[in-house]
A and B are shown apart, each in its own frame.
Chain A
Amino acid sequence: MRNSEATTHVGMEIEATARPSGNGSTLPGLSPLSETLWREKANSEIIGDVSARLTWKDLTVMVTLSNGETQNVLEGLTGYAEPGTFTALMGPSGSGKSTLLDALSSRLAANAFLSGTILLNGRKAKLSFGTAAYVTQDDNLIGTLTVRETISYSARLRLPDNMPWTDKRALVESTIVAMGLQDCADTVIGNWHLRGISGGEKRRVSIALEILMRPRLLFLDEPTSGLDSASAFFVTQTLRALARDGRTVIASIHQPSSEVFELFDQLYLLSSGKTVYFGQASDAYEFFAQAGFPCPALRNPSDHFLRCINSDFDKVKATLKGSMKLRFEGSDDPLDRITTAEAIRTLIDFYRSSQHSYAATQKVDEISKVKGTVLEAGGSEASFLMQSYTLTQRSFMNMSRDFGYYWLRLVIYIVVTICIGTIYLNVGTGYNSILARGSCASFVFGFVTFMSIGGFPSFVEDMKVFQRERLNGHYGVTAFVISNTLSAMPFLILITFLSGTICYFMVRLHPGFWHYVFFVLCLYASVTVVESLMMAIASIVPNFLMGIIIGAGIQGIFMLVSGYFRLPHDIPKPVWRYPMSYISFHFWALQGQYQNDLRGLIFDNQTPDLPKIPGEYILEKVFQIDVNRSKWINLSVIFSMIVIYRIIFFIMIKINEDVTPWVRGYLARRRMQQKSGAQNTTIAPDVLTQSPSLRTYVSPPTK
């Protein structure tokens, strides 16, 4: 009931906003929602439609492998996609459907080279973020947010600042309704410990995020993979509806069920990089029958098509025959008499001479003659401040809801500090307490900060979301770094304040308010440094486990040279003293804390008759601390380290984004030039089965 109310409310709102623009000459056949969405664009641009007509002609993609060989992953493809239609790219795994999608959306990897023409509205255009949206196969979403929150944060991150909040909200609500998410709008998405929405709903949320910016062209990489039939049907149905609103939708699809297949408008069937069929999905049935491969009754046509062009079946049959199990019950299937490889060849030849191929070429020429609107849009239209603010808010929300991010650590910190507190309970000023105070400080700054590693997995999750949004141009690296720093601050302060207080008062460290403040601040700074260090590591290291191991190793070495395990003057000068001990934050923390704790105290000597020992003497002689440097300087060094690590993080991401692809492309070109004589332009299907997408292109396993 509530939902339907909300729906009608939104509907009214949309109508209300749509009315003033309704001069009749705008886009026909659009739902009221879409009309609103494109109203401003339609008015601001040249008169005419703003839809995207994509054509590609003689598209060939060549990749270079690490051994210098080149392969044609796509060969001479021609086709088009028109507004209002839903085009499905189908083919067995390794046939190049993901590559085609990448090529059309200009997301090819750096070691792939493209020839042929791709025209958008008759113009050569590099598709930028915003014009075309790309929905990847995996849904990297923040698990602790609800569906509505996810979408509305995304809207605030990207929609222009000057758009009134009510408009944004209307847009968010209408997107939720358009994607059929109204029932789960207030359910959390779910992560490893929270059960949330289903896989199909997640997929639709991912799509919703991409259509927020009103792209005219929508690419989807296997939107139905991993979904059950009802969810897959729902997702496809939604995509079709999006297409009917005047968008151009292109999706690669793997093994659609019968119901899903019926929803396709255009079908592009690929096998080993060549076109097997391109045309109306409903005509494909006829096409296969004409080519001599009629689809048996009671069979899903798409299953039949894939069966005909999947050369893996040859291997399967050969192996089955090899295993002396010739128990193929006789069937009327023509495919039992000829191999799939032959079938593919027949079909490709048949398509080339068919009227479908002819019609496609003609249509492509026709569309590309019309020079349409230049569609352009940047990534995010929100200002930097808005992005930072929204990100901070979102990240804070996530941290406060994710139990593993900080809350678990808070508990662990309190437990550990209580342990420390009871062990060093009321440490006093006896002779033995000199060492005890030292080791207490080193334990707190060494092992307690070490526990910060526990938040690494949650951070890695965060990074994945960042990665996706960054790739789609939602916001910049700077905004991410700033927001992460700001949103983590309250939690870190809470953690260090509580554990610092427990430790300080149980152990009874040097009394005095400022000593207490220094201790807590120093602990805060150290924990934050560890956080920033782990962030920097996460940006360099390929996986989660390696991250933890490397993080632990670096901290271990820092601890070793901190001046507790080996006194500062005894640390070997080359490498370890200069520069390692100065890089180690433990070193600065201990220098500061020792001064903070011992200066001004007087300790008993070994036997009562000997003179008492002043703290300054211990600092200089026993712990070998530089007493001339103020403890506050030590603290500020740690704070500057935080900044430095964040900058390293920033630089690493920039390098990953800009330099690495350039280097890869350069290397690929070099290799190609070296091998330019020997060109092997046929594709080895068994190589590609392992890596259907070029984004993860790896050299084939050597046999």
Chain B
Amino acid sequence: MEIEAAATDRSKPSNWGAATETDRDAPYTGFDRGSFLAWQDLRVVLPNFGKGPTKRLLNGLNGYAEPGRIMAIMGPSGSGKSTLLDALAGRLSKNVVMTGNVLLNGKKKGLGYGGVAYVTQEDVLLGTLTVKETVSYSAHLRLPTSMSKEEVNSLIDGTIIEMGLQDCADRLIGNWHLRGISGGEKKRLSIALEILTMPRLLFLDEPTSGLDSASAFFVVQTLRNVARDGRTVISSIHQPSSEVFALFDDLFLLSGGETVYFGEAKSAIEFFAEAGFPCPRKRNPSDHFLRCINSDFDIVTATLKGSQRIHDVPNSADPFANLATAEIKSMLVEKYGRSTHARRAKNRIQELSTDEGLQPSTQHGSEASWWKQLSTLTKRSFVNMCRDVGYYWLRIIIYIIVSICVGTVYFDIGYSYTSILARGACGAFISGFMTFMSIGGFPSFIEEMKVFYRERLNGYYGVAAYILANFLSSFPFLVAIALTSSTITYNMVKFRPGISHFVFFTINIYSCISVIESLMMVVASLVPNFLMGIITGAGIIGIMMMTSGFFRLLSDLPKPVWRYPISYISYGSWAIQGAYKNDLLGLEFDPLIPGDPKLNGEYVITHMLGIELNHSKWWDLAALFVILIGYRLLFFTVLKLKERASPLFQTLYAKRTIQQLEKRPSFRKMPSFPSQRHQPLHSLSSQDGLDSPLQ
């Protein structure tokens, strides 16, 4: 079905550019492009197998969304608005179970990756790109390769203008060290990325949170324009200002997972008035609605009374001054159930669900070819690495400084007896400590991973394309790092002369740094936050250094565990063996006691450094490359497993839960369930992370 839909779209490629232009002028008329979304008896529960009751997040909701209209899902925090949005978009988290129907154009839909345009609450963008670049990379990643350059460009420009981003099109988005565009612009950019492929259905999670009134107004106004183009826009929203609220067509008011009101936003005022809670004149209707149904106000009033401040509780004309919000809420829910709004909604849903004639419009992820994705990603990633000072440039500087330090400490090392150990130590320091510095790029990599996760979730490209693109784009930088640091140290320390020895030395450093990079990638994909990532990474590197054969000779390492297998897995042991062989073989050193015969390199390596000479240094290098590829494959597997395993797990879990639920006749209701979104446990890096402790 998906393929079919894609094929029909591709068969008329000329519509892509042209349709947008004509669409804008002509008012929306037909039903041909629209998406009708209806949901019936939608229930979401968070099961709890242990002690404690099962939580109902949504409780039998009915509703629908039509093309050309913009719907607001409103409610106090913890009322289930995000859950509803996730349920409709097919993005519910793994630990909840949904029952009921979600019908897209009368058909049950299965939305997977890339199934739906969903703008999340946080704007995950690459801070080093300009607005226009971001949009155009995204377009190249996803639009079909068959589209001509002009069409793509006009689509990009059209989208930028549509979202009102033309003024900041050439400005950087900004990250922790670059000042960039404002929050409202970021949000509009996120929306622009989602509407690039002309989705018929657009979901937004609190698009105005954290914005000031003008920016919020701007965002919602553009959303309204998007809707007027015949798209169906559904957005959750938290405390809209008066102007913003006036822009919404439909309103879905939730409290405690139940429908308080569903219908036209304008008729809501009437509904509340009829229910006995008229909105006072100088009030924002949405504030009034939330005031009526937000049970937190009960707690506030109770606490205020408790703190002996009753004399100053405002004596406003609130009809609910002496009525608990919980009561108001249940009155409203009941009233809504009997109202014409509910009946009308039911009829309309019936109509929509039986209407089979409509073409099911399926969204799909990227239509660009794999090569196109790879080249675009590589280019984008390279631009990002170039512009982000923290990604590689800072490290190159640190490497140069450290190399100069190493170079001066071991300056002109010579051939005396003590230089044997010094050469060894120098090699170990370079391959051990200097590669350790690669951890410095970890934060930037984490930022990039966030973008990857978002885009992956939206189905922009595949895992393989991403990994390969990352490898290709980082290649020049890693080579630059390896080349500068090896040139400095090699020439200052005066390692064994000869061009092939220099080349080996450089490649050895390059592969060490690449291995660490790949190792940190694997760590990043496994570990929840930044700090844990650094600690884990440092720990692993520490253990590898210990078993590398410098701190304890390889022959002296305890056989179980440390020698087999760890010293073979450790990149350090291969790197050091290679470096020793490269440097020492063929040299002669002064003996400990003057007058004794000179020590040759072979003797030093086998007897003093405990390394066997049964394979050449190039084999050691090959082993490093094998490890490098191994880590990349591991990274690939981890990402794939995370994606594959979770849906499978989810189905099993859902089945089991439903069985469990059938055994229980009823489950108790929880008063209020704190939403995960409003108190997120941020990773440390995003939380404060890069702020100054003292400035």
Contacts and interface: CB of A to CB of B under 8 A. Distances in A.
B443 A545 contact: yes
B552 interface: yes
Contact of A307 (B213, B285, B538, B561): B213
A198 B405 contact: no
B213 A316 contact: no
Given A192-B682, A298-B283, A324 B694 contact: no
Interface string A539-571: 111111101110011001101110011110111
Contacts of A628: none
Contacts of A436: 552-553, 556
Contacts of B538: 450-451
B243 interface: yes
B546 A230 contact: no
Contacts of A4: 306
Nearest to A653: B694
Interface stretch (A115-123, A148-156, A420-428): A420-428
Given A31-B308, A229-B287, A556-B433, A439 B551 contact: yes
Contacts of A545: 390, 443, 685, 689-690
B312 A244 contact: yes
A237 B212 CA distance: 23
Given A258-B284, A542-B695, A447 B297 contact: no
Interface string A419-461: 1101111000000100110011011000100110010010011
B429 A295 contact: no
Contact of A565 (B269, B307, B429, B681): B429
B238 A228 contact: yes
Interface in B200-230: 212-215, 217-218, 221-222, 224-225, 228
B474 interface: no
- Binding site of A, secondary structure by majority: helix, strand, loop or mixed? helix
A555 to B, nearest CB: 10
Interface stretch (A177-185, A341-349, A485-493, A586-594): A177-185
B695 A180 contact: no
B651 interface: no
Given A180-B306, A183-B303, A300-B242, A423 B690 contact: no
B591 interface: no
A541 B687 CA distance: 18
Given A300-B284, A560-B429, A457 B161 contact: no
B312 A460 contact: no
A569 B314 CA distance: 81
A322 B534 CA distance: 48
B410 interface: yes
A656 interface: yes
Interface in B531-548: 531, 534-535, 538-539, 542-543, 545-547
A701 interface: yes
A300 B241 contact: yes
Interface string A509-542: 0000000000000000000000000000011111
A543 B689 CA distance: 8
B546 A312 contact: no
A4 B306 CA distance: 7
B6 interface: no
B297 A310 contact: no
B408 interface: yes
Contacts of B689: 543-545
A259 B383 CA distance: 49
Given A556-B433, A557-B405, A422 B287 contact: no
B161 A322 contact: yes
Contacts of B176: 543
Contact of A257 (B239, B281, B539, B681): B239
Nearest to A31: B308
SS of B interface (majority): helix
A254 interface: yes
Interface residues of A, number: 121
A499 to B, nearest CB: 14
Contacts of A539: 693-694
Interface stretch (B251-259, B288-296, B327-335, B596-604): B288-296
Contacts of A557: 402, 405
Nearest to A565: B425
B503 interface: no
A464 interface: yes
A119 B193 CA distance: 54
Interface stretch (B36-44, B45-53, B90-98, B162-170): B162-170
Interface in B638-695: 678-679, 681-685, 687-695
B408 A575 contact: yes
Interface in A201-258: 228-231, 233-234, 237, 240-241, 244, 254-255, 257-258
A11 B212 contact: no
B402 A553 contact: yes
A562 B158 CA distance: 63
Contact of B213 (A255, A320, A463): A255
A690 interface: yes
A234 B313 CA distance: 11
Contacts of A423: 546-547, 551-552, 557-558, 562
A432 B609 CA distance: 10
Interface string B137-180: 00000000000000000000000011110110000000010010
A537 B591 CA distance: 45
B344 interface: no
A420 B284 CA distance: 67
Contacts of A297: 281
Nearest to A11: B308
B294 A325 contact: no
A412 interface: yes
B422 interface: yes
B409 A295 contact: no
Residue of B162, B284, B291, B401 with highest tally of chain A CB at under 10 A:
B284
B12 interface: no
A198 B558 contact: no
Contacts of B242: 298-300, 303-304, 307
B77 interface: yes
A195 B543 CA distance: 33
B338 interface: no
Contacts of B213: 92, 255, 303, 306-307, 310
Given A237-B304, A241-B309, A463 B217 contact: no
Contacts of B406: 560
B282 interface: yes
B342 interface: no
Given A457-B531, A543-B693, A560-B429, A3 B306 contact: yes
A447 B545 contact: yes
Contact of B217 (A195, A240, A313, A560): A313
B26 interface: no
Interface in A27-47: 31, 33
Given A320-B218, A553-B398, 19 more contacts: A11-B308, A229-B239, A229-B294, A237-B300, A241-B312, A299-B242, A300-B242, A303-B242, A312-B215, A315-B167, A316-B164, A316-B221, A420-B546, A436-B552, A539-B694, A544-B690, A552-B437, A556-B437, A566-B410
10 contacts: A182-B307, A237-B300, A237-B313, A303-B241, A313-B217, A320-B218, A320-B225, A544-B690, A560-B406, A565-B428
Interface of A: 3-4, 7, 11, 31, 33, 92-93, 177-180, 182-183, 192-193, 195, 198-199, 228-231, 233-234, 237, 240-241, 244, 254-255, 257-259, 262-263, 285, 295, 297-301, 303-304, 306-307, 310, 312-313, 315-316, 319-320, 322-325, 327, 404, 408, 412, 415-416, 419-420, 422-425, 432, 435-436, 439-440, 442-443, 447, 450-451, 454, 457, 460-461, 463-464, 467, 538-545, 547-549, 552-553, 556-557, 559-561, 564-567, 569-572, 575-576, 653, 656, 689-690, 698, 701
Closest CB pairs A-B (n = 6): A230-B296, A312-B214, A300-B284, A319-B164, A180-B303, A258-B287
